[in-house]
Amino acid sequence: MNEENWKTFKPLAPPEKWREEIIGAATAVRAPRNLNLLTMWNGLGAAALTACWISIGIFHLATPKSDSAWAESIAKRIPPRQPASVTLLSQRLNLNPEYYE
Partner 1 sequence: MLPELEIARIYDEHASSVFGLFLKFARDSNDARDLLQDWLVKIGRSDGLPDDLRNERSWCLKTAYRLAVDWSRKKGSHARTIEAFEDRPRAFDFFETENDPDRELIRLGIEEALSSLPRDQQLVATLKIWDELSFREIGEVLDISANTASSRYRYAVEKIRAELKNLYSEICEP
Q: Does residue 16 bind partner 1 (CB under 8 A)?
A: no
* Dihedral angle computed from the Cα positions of residues 58, 59, 65 and 67, in that order, rounded to the nearest 10 degrees: 160
Q: How many residues bind partner 1 (CB under 8 A)?
A: 22
d(CA 46, CA 42): 6
Q: Does residue 19 bind partner 1 (CB under 8 A)?
A: yes
Phi, psi of 32 (to 5 degrees): -60, 150
Q: How far apart are the first and last CA of the chain?
A: 129
d(CA 59, CA 56): 5
Q: Does residue 29 bind partner 1 (CB under 8 A)?
A: yes
Q: Does residue 1 bind partner 1 (CB under 8 A)?
A: yes
Question: Which of 12, 61, 78, 93 lies at the binding interface for partner 1 (CB under 8 A)?
Answer: 12
**Stretch of 24-32, 49-57, 66-74, 83-91 lying at the interface with partner 1 (CB under 8 A):** 24-32
Q: Which residues bind partner 1 (CB under 8 A)?
A: 1-3, 6-7, 9-14, 18-19, 21-23, 25-27, 29-30, 32
